[in-house]
Amino acid sequence: MSEKGRVKIRSRLRKLLRPAKPRTMTGPNAAAGGTARGSKVELEKVLGITAAGNNALTCNPQNGLLAYPAGCVVVLLNPRKNKEAHIFNSSRKTITTLAFSPDGKYLVTGESGHMPAVRVWDVSDRLQVSALQEHKFGVACVAFSPNGKYIVSVGYEHDMMVNVWNWKKNVVVAANKVSSKVTAVSFSDDSSYFVTAGNRHVKFWYLDHDKTSKGQSTAALQGRPARLKSLMNNVFCDVACGRGRHASSTFCVTSSGQLCVFNERILGKWVELQTSRATCLSVTEDFIFCGCSDGTVRVFSPVSLSFLYPLPRPHSLRTDIDQMRDPSQLFSCTAESQCPDTVAVTCDPANHCLSCVYKDHSVYVWDIRDLNRPGKVYSALHHSSSVWSLEVYTDGAAEGERLLPPGSFLSCSADNTIRLWNGHGALRRNILSNDLKKVIYVDDDISSLPDTNNITNAEKAGPPEGQQTDQIRTGIRALRVSPDGRHLASGDFEGILRIHDLTHMEEIFSFEAHESEILCLEYFKPEKGLQLLATASRDRRIHILDAGRDYTVVQTLQDHSSSINAVRFAANEGKLWLISCGADKNICFYTAQKTREGLLFTLTHSVVSKISLSDMEVDLNRKCAAVGCKDRNIRIFDISNGKEQKSYKGSQGDDGSIIKVHIDPSGLYIATSCSDKNISIFDFFSGECVATMFGHSEIITGLKFSSDCKYLITVSGDSCIFVWRLSPELTVRMRQRLADLKPRSSVPHRQNAPQQRAVKLGNANEEEGGEAGQACPYMETAGCAKETETSVNADGGESTSGGRLIRWPRMEDDSVMVKSMFDLRLEEEEEEEEEEEEVETPPPFNSSLRRRRTVGVEPQFQRNREETQSTLSLQVASGLGGKRSINHFLSSRSLDGEEPVLFPDQWEDRVNLERSLFQQKEAWSSPAAAAAGGREGKPGRPAGDEPLSEEQSSFELEEEEDEEKEGRRPDARDVRHARADPPVSGKRLHGRPRP
């Protein structure tokens, strides 16, 4: 062997024997982006937010990056570019609170569940760098010290612990117990103390730096309560220490609607916010932003608590987002308009932005560069409660008949809405949401639109580990789109079945189909012939309706003894099958026969399993049924005889049970969701696990592959929708198989009807062995149909040898014949370039056209429902394609080049709000302080250098007795300031009468 070869071998041996470098992450898969098997799947978009209060919303002070939780994921949003990055909590516990470090390089999070941890993450790498487990039940709030050395964390009410943590050394330097429920914490500007606020609680905690710097043992944290005086019975829902010139002040808001200031633990004065409830506040050196009920955010001066400006309210509940295309519509809320309450606000002084989260889970970012004329930089609307079902929209019969744009999908929720989402920007833009295209409000009640569980206490953000939150049994439970893409069927928890026409998004049928919640809906519609809809419910019944005859009842099946979780149609070998499974461990196989009375489904055979069955899917060939079972196995059954062919594990975990299963359009892969909140993708034929993901904090209630084989979409009880991008390798394999399954002259496969051929249904009255019954024009869906000889006629159309024209279903993406992964990457690059160009938009949907008919069916189906309203919202969205560096989207420059939506000079919200309506009350500790307290700054000046005369004042100041230091009551002073600015926002607010 030559000397060069020996040197090469030695170098390789040194590399093998060299110890591995230590990694910064501490949990398994902490850097995997929520996936446990390489780069097979990556989270691209999160449609939802689970921030329950101001402690779950934070802004990076260096680059304006907005962070908020969405289940077990932290979303890092650049609002000006509409780009996202994500941090995954590897413990799979719900994130309840978070905060950025002063330099913006690190993010601290708290979580709920058994033995929760306080975790510190590197923002640029999105890796965990440290973790502390000193709490037992959950972390209510966290905060970095301004010097970046310490982190304070406060536990839940039953935890009752306050810990100060030197996070770089991973030691607790000081700790103590708190006797009240704490909802907020804030560090002083010099890091010498911090303040906690909660239920009848405001307390100042002081750090002894001599003891904490040694770090040898945990010191006792010294705390002193604030003197609350007449406000002692209030709930202090948020607290913020002053900054800059006002570092000695501490500001609090109470749930009853007071903004108060403390000077050295002593209550100085407070002002009534003229609102039914206050929830949050954010303090800068120049302004105080107070979030209140009805979407109100008001701006005060930190010098004198004088009212300065109002901020605009968000959209009203039940707004028609399709019509929200002009800024004047957003800025013209009337006094009768009901808006969602503000639950969180955070200010970014460097970029002049104020981010707000509202009770209906909507997010707004306001441009506050000029508070006289603010603007909207970003907004997004989401479901406010558990999402129960998901349906991917597929094409109609032809390209010109497509009713919804490519890539659309629908979701339904406990908030009584059905929402259409699309991120490809094929429709006109609106000013409210980039992804939400339409909203269907099922009823007129707006009480279900805000999150009823969303309160300022972060303790409600997640249940203890291993438990699920009590689901509110209201709203829409199941969805299904007809194969031709024209009708949308939905079922709710009361057993009401509704049919919407997707042409105008209007309800056309509504009746009570079941006595309990509808768990499953399934369409069967061949190209010609019978159009069927099957509904399954918790009442143990299956109704089969004729969709071609105004949804009249064909048959009712009652062979199950418990809830029916899934029902599917299949057509093979000349037979039409109906398969159902339920919680009674029974799988029923029905076949359709033609009788004199019409179509009749009879039970052919049934299989009794040893465990309960959760969900079921039929494979592409319509010959096998894949059933998800409670023992975490997927069992494959032959439809023709009901025998089990094979089974394999449907989850990589050792706990929980399978909730949902779904087969991709090509039939190569099957996706499963488990009650341990994991999502898995398996090879359908071999059972090999391809990818495992996590991120939801509640059970996954639905999952679907997109029709273009690029995405997997999941919905959950945490109200969030996750859009996962599949790797090019998986997409190429699925598209290649779709291309192989099609005749050479056909166009791409459609998800609900891969291929079609005629099916003959036998006549029930004929004797066995007799002649075959008359052919019925029912069509079969089959993935391996026999090839049909086709020819192209003179007009360019396809005709069969039998002379009958066959129309093959079409797909939105015509580029199915992908020869390599390089071709797919080129295709994705072209799509990204097209998204940046201006798209010619079709005319808007005409929501004023309404069609409503009464269904003439059996008596149990004759209860009509009230007519629903529909809204349309059209705009372009952009997301991160693949895993990129966090610096990719930190630039404040917008890729789309969109300017903020600015307010007009005068809008209706600013008309009748007068500063004299905000009444201040002061508590003086001495006559000298009282005399000094009368010198207030100008209302329009944050610093307030010049004193104002009584004629320039527009407030009532009432001095109260401080019984602790003074035995007499000073004379009350009545000081009024003249109004210097034009009138401002909101409803007409009535102050107290002047004494």
Alpha-carbon distance of 543 to 367, in angstroms, equals 53
Q: Is 607 helix (H, G, I), strand (E, B) or coil?
A: strand
Q: Does residue 990 or residue 433 have the better pLDDT?
A: 433
Under 8 Å between Cβ of 277 and 255: yes
Which class would CATH give 614-738? Answer: mainly beta
* Relative orientation angle of helices 821-836 and 728-741, to the nearest 10 degrees: 100
Per-residue model confidence as pLDDT tens digits over 864-875: 333 333 332 323
Buried b (16+ CB within 10 A) or exposed e, 183-222: bbbbbbeebebbbbbbeebbbbbebeeeebeeeeebbebe
Structure tokens at 393: 């929209």
pLDDT at 813 over 80: no
| Band of residue 555 on the pLDDT scale cut at 50, 70, 90 | very high
Going by C-alpha positions, the residue among 749, 762, 760, 895 that lies closest to residue 811 is 749
DSSP H stretches of helix in 798-926: 821-836
Instruction: Give the amino acid at 831.
Output: E
Bridge partners of 712?
705, 724
Under 8 Å between Cβ of 318 and 301: no
| Band of residue 790 on the pLDDT scale cut at 50, 70, 90 | very low
Under 8 Å between Cβ of 681 and 694: no
- Mean pLDDT value of segment 284-305: 94
Count the Cβ atoms, other than its own, within 10 Å of residue 112: 25
For residue 401, what pLDDT is reported? Answer: 61
For residue 326, what pLDDT is reported? Answer: 80
For residue 405, what pLDDT is reported? Answer: 82
Cα dihedral sign, 110-111-116-122: negative
Alpha-carbon distance of 518 to 388, in angstroms, equals 11
| Band of residue 131 on the pLDDT scale cut at 50, 70, 90 | very high
Alpha-carbon distance of 555 to 565, in angstroms, equals 19
Which class would CATH give 133-381? Answer: mainly beta
The mean-pLDDT minimum among 2-11, 338-347, 576-585 falls in 2-11
The overall average pLDDT reported for the chain is: 76
For residue 356, what pLDDT is reported? Answer: 97
pLDDT at 281 over 80: yes
Q: Which of 380-394, 397-411, 916-930, 937-951 has the highest mean pLDDT?
A: 380-394
pLDDT at 951 over 80: no
% of the chain at pLDDT higher than 70 = 66
For residue 856, what pLDDT is reported? Answer: 39
Per-residue model confidence as pLDDT tens digits over 211-243: 666 656 788 888 999 998 888 889 999 999 998
The string of DSSP codes covering 501-538 is: ETTTTEEEEEEE--SS-EEEEEEE--SSS--EEEEEET
Alpha-carbon distance of 289 to 309, in angstroms, equals 10
Burial grade of 654 (CB within 10 A; 0-12, 13-18, 19 or more)? exposed
Alpha-carbon distance of 608 to 644, in angstroms, equals 11
Q: Is 158 helix (H, G, I), strand (E, B) or coil?
A: coil
Contacts of 179 (CB under 8 A, 6+ apart): 160, 201
Using a CB cutoff of 8 Å and minimum separation of 24, what contacts does 160-165 make?
161/134, 161/135, 161/136, 162/196, 162/205, 162/221, 162/223, 163/118, 163/132, 163/134, 163/135, 164/207, 164/212, 164/221, 165/118, 165/132, 165/134
Alpha-carbon distance of 289 to 292, in angstroms, equals 10
Going by C-alpha positions, the residue among 870, 858, 856 that lies closest to residue 509 is 856
DSSP H stretches of helix in 258-368: 327-330
Going by C-alpha positions, the residue among 611, 607, 609, 625 that lies closest to residue 661 is 625
For residue 366, what pLDDT is reported? Answer: 94
Residue with tokens 């905000």: 918
For residue 283, what pLDDT is reported? Answer: 95
Per-residue model confidence as pLDDT tens digits over 520-547: 999 987 755 678 999 999 999 999 999 9
For residue 229, what pLDDT is reported? Answer: 83
In angstroms, the Cα distances linking 84 to 80, 87, 103, 313, 706 are: 11, 10, 20, 25, 21
Residue with tokens 């939400």: 436
| Band of residue 503 on the pLDDT scale cut at 50, 70, 90 | confident
For residue 407, what pLDDT is reported? Answer: 86
pLDDT at 751 over 90: no
Under 8 Å between Cβ of 453 and 136: no
Burial grade of 507 (CB within 10 A; 0-12, 13-18, 19 or more)? buried
Q: Does residue 435 or residue 965 have the better pLDDT?
A: 435
For residue 372, what pLDDT is reported? Answer: 87
Contacts of 492 (CB under 8 A, 6+ apart): 442, 474, 475, 476, 477, 498, 517, 518
Count the Cβ atoms, other than its own, within 10 Å of residue 962: 20
Going by C-alpha positions, the residue among 242, 233, 245 that lies closest to residue 195 is 242
Contacts of 387 (CB under 8 A, 6+ apart): 48, 411, 412, 413, 701, 702, 715, 716, 717, 719, 720, 721
Structure tokens at 501: 């026409």
Going by C-alpha positions, the residue among 103, 97, 99 that lies closest to residue 69 is 97
pLDDT at 117 over 60: yes
Per-residue model confidence as pLDDT tens digits over 49-99: 999 999 999 999 999 999 999 999 999 999 999 999 999 998 999 999 999
Alpha-carbon distance of 285 to 247, in angstroms, equals 9
Per-residue model confidence as pLDDT tens digits over 346-368: 999 999 999 999 999 999 999 99
For residue 230, what pLDDT is reported? Answer: 86
Alpha-carbon distance of 624 to 622, in angstroms, equals 6
pLDDT at 713 over 70: yes
For residue 94, what pLDDT is reported? Answer: 95
pLDDT at 831 over 70: no
Under 8 Å between Cβ of 430 and 901: no
Length of the chain counted residue by residue: 995
Alpha-carbon distance of 893 to 873, in angstroms, equals 25
Going by C-alpha positions, the residue among 198, 189, 185 that lies closest to residue 228 is 198
Q: Where are the domains of the chain?
A: 133-381, 614-738
The two domains 133-381 and 614-738 share their CATH topology (first three levels equal): yes
Structure tokens at 408: 């659309």
Alpha-carbon distance of 184 to 346, in angstroms, equals 14
